[in-house]
Chains A and B, each alone.
Chain A
Amino acid sequence: MRRFIEKSVEKVLMASGAITSLTILLIVVFLFRQGAGLFRNSVVEENYSLAVNKTNPVEKLTPEEIKNIFDREIVNWAQVGGLNEDISVFRLNDITSYVSEEALGEEMQFLSHHLSEIVDTHPHIIAFIPNEYIRKDFKGKVLDVGKITPSDFFAGKEWFPTAQPAPLFGLLPLLLGTLWVSFAAILFALPFGLAVAIYLAELASTRTRAVLKPVIELLAGIPSVIYGFFGLVVVVPLIQKTFDLPVGETALAGSVILAVMAMPTIITIAEDAIRTVPRATKEASLALGASQMQTIFKVILPYCVSGIMAAVVLGIGRAVGETMAVLMVTGNSAIIPTTLLEPVRTIPATIAAELGEAPTGGAHYEALFMLGVILFLITLFISILIEIISAKQIKQQQ
């Protein structure tokens, strides 16, 4: 009996040990399954089609072309490989300027007939109409726009998730925005982080250290929404005034906040790395007549460079996934960043801002899960990188 209890307790404990792995597995399954659904969606909004006149030679349009046609950026069929004629754009709401309300019938029963006629009699039209009104006898040509391709997503330069008729899910501005803000944050955080780590490990007295260390760790405990709030009311106006910018909500504001948030991580890891430097190495340097400063910069830092690398990489991992603080201070425009003084939109901020709005199961919803997949892959990559770095470190020390 007692053996049985012992055994079953062990099994229960083992099962709880497996829960983290199970969670990761579930996260992967759910994220990837929902995300991959994106590529099963048609380029044009669900249940809608694009139709042109039968005489129109154009067979295929890219999502960007569709958006530009409906935004009137492209106004001539020649620009998309057709005849040299002006494009006229038709949406369902425009129906009343072609036929009277009475002609549509009381319950719109003649709508599909009229749609068919309109497309047939206007040779340069492009019509965006619901599938349910396209009957078998439809006289126009329904364009085969195909499905959203991985290259539309991974190489797309524009993020217009609710554009009609063809939403654009371009990853690039968001991915570059995320990396831009994160790398800038680490550039700000690294000098400070290293300075603090060196000070704590080499210079500070035990008592100073005992006070400072927990205080710095408290920085890591502050919730990100508080950093965001602080950024919004203090850092953003400050940046706007200092640089005399039209807007304060910029990549810079985001990186400054992220730098503060990543600092405790960098400090802790870098300090640990500095502490692993063997006493003998330090003393050898000092014995050869090197000053303490020379020892720190010429011996200790080069010795623990891989530990510092690990700190940097972990810091970036921290910054990449940060949501609320960034959402509140970066202005969220989906443009490919070129300077730190302009607004950017990051992947986590996009998910947080848009997931609530996206109808469950739609292309937009799935695109956001795809963004989640990207985030997951970035952090996975970072974890692996850390493993490699620390494995190297152990080898080096042996």
Chain B
Amino acid sequence: MKNLKQQKQAAVFWILRIMTWLVVGILFWILGFLLVKGMGVLSWEFITTAPKNEMTSGGIFPAIVGTLCLVTGSMLVAFPIGVMSGIYLNEYARNGWTVRFIRIMTNNLSSIPSIVFGLFGMALFVNTLGFGDSILAGSLTLGLLVLPIVIRTTEESLKAIPDTFRNGSRALGASQLQTIYKVVLPIAFPNIMTGLILSIGRVSGETAPILFTVAAYFLPKLPTSIFDQVMALPYHLYVLATSGTDLEAARPMAYGTALVLILIVLLMNIIAGIIRSLTSKDYVK
């Protein structure tokens, strides 16, 4: 009887184990699929030249540059603001209600679907402020989108620093600002960086917010000002997958683009993970 019960338990646990590996398997399936199909396309030429022959050959250089522009632009928006609000929330705000309100708002902002950001960006930056479809409009939209990520990681990394550091600094006569600037921030810096890196990963992959704010279908010239449109990797993949005269001929390009995109994004996530696991041992606990 007991044996049966144990067998049953073992069976159930195996099922759980198998289901877990299935889920992990999905990731490797997607990765492996793109790797097998896209590897043959990846070459120096592919990442350094513009698309040719109705985008069925050539490369994706303008899209890579475009994505870099958007990443830089949106980080210039999100990083300073995000870090500053994180500092405010953790170091300054004393009024519980204010903190709670800001936190709820930040949570809400992070739960708003990306397409709604697209709508908003188009209405505010493209039309009302008259920026047109441009890197500026796209970066602002994407910057607001990832703001909650930066705020949250900053707040968490500040929270992880024990108050003894702050008290020690203050006891030595440093002001609050000096304490934050000279003591707290340097310790928290690596963890704050994970927020930046995660946001970069997120921004590189977002399509919906840039559809109506910046993305160009075909633009072999590189941008010269922040009012230019650019191609971007995720939108380019969408275009390659659904538009064009000959989808079959464009498939290799699509696989290559997907591979480059996923490598960038996963690399960012892995780097962030490594930083986090390296620093978490130092002072937490």
Contacts and interface: CB of A to CB of B under 8 A. Distances in A.
A17 B204 contact: no
Interface in A207-224: 212, 214-219, 221-224
A18 interface: yes
A20 B105 contact: yes
Given A222-B30, A226-B205, A228-B241, A17 B89 contact: yes
Contacts of A224: 205, 207-208
Contact of B212 (A12, A356, A376): A356
Given A13-B85, A321-B114, A380-B108, A222 B262 contact: yes
A31 B116 contact: yes
A192 B238 contact: no
B69 interface: no
A215 B87 contact: no
Interface stretch (B10-18, B56-64, B220-228): B10-18
B38 to A, nearest CB: 11
B124 A20 contact: no
Interface residues of A, number: 79
Interface in A27-47: 27, 30-31, 34
- Specify the main secondary structure of chain A where it touches its partner: helix
Contacts, number: 238
Interface residues of B, number: 85
Interface stretch (A55-63, A102-110, A229-237): A229-237
A242 B261 CA distance: 30
Contacts of A1: none
25 contacts: A5-B177, A6-B175, A14-B88, A20-B102, A23-B144, A24-B109, A27-B117, A34-B123, A195-B15, A199-B20, A216-B27, A218-B266, A221-B201, A221-B202, A226-B262, A293-B13, A321-B116, A328-B238, A352-B118, A355-B212, A368-B119, A372-B116, A375-B113, A379-B113, A383-B108
Interface of B: 5-6, 8-9, 12-13, 15-17, 19-20, 22-24, 26-27, 30, 33-34, 80-82, 84-85, 87-89, 92-93, 101-102, 104-109, 111-120, 122-124, 127-128, 144, 147-148, 151, 175-177, 201-202, 204-208, 211-212, 234-235, 237-238, 241-242, 251, 254, 258, 261-262, 265-266, 268-270, 273
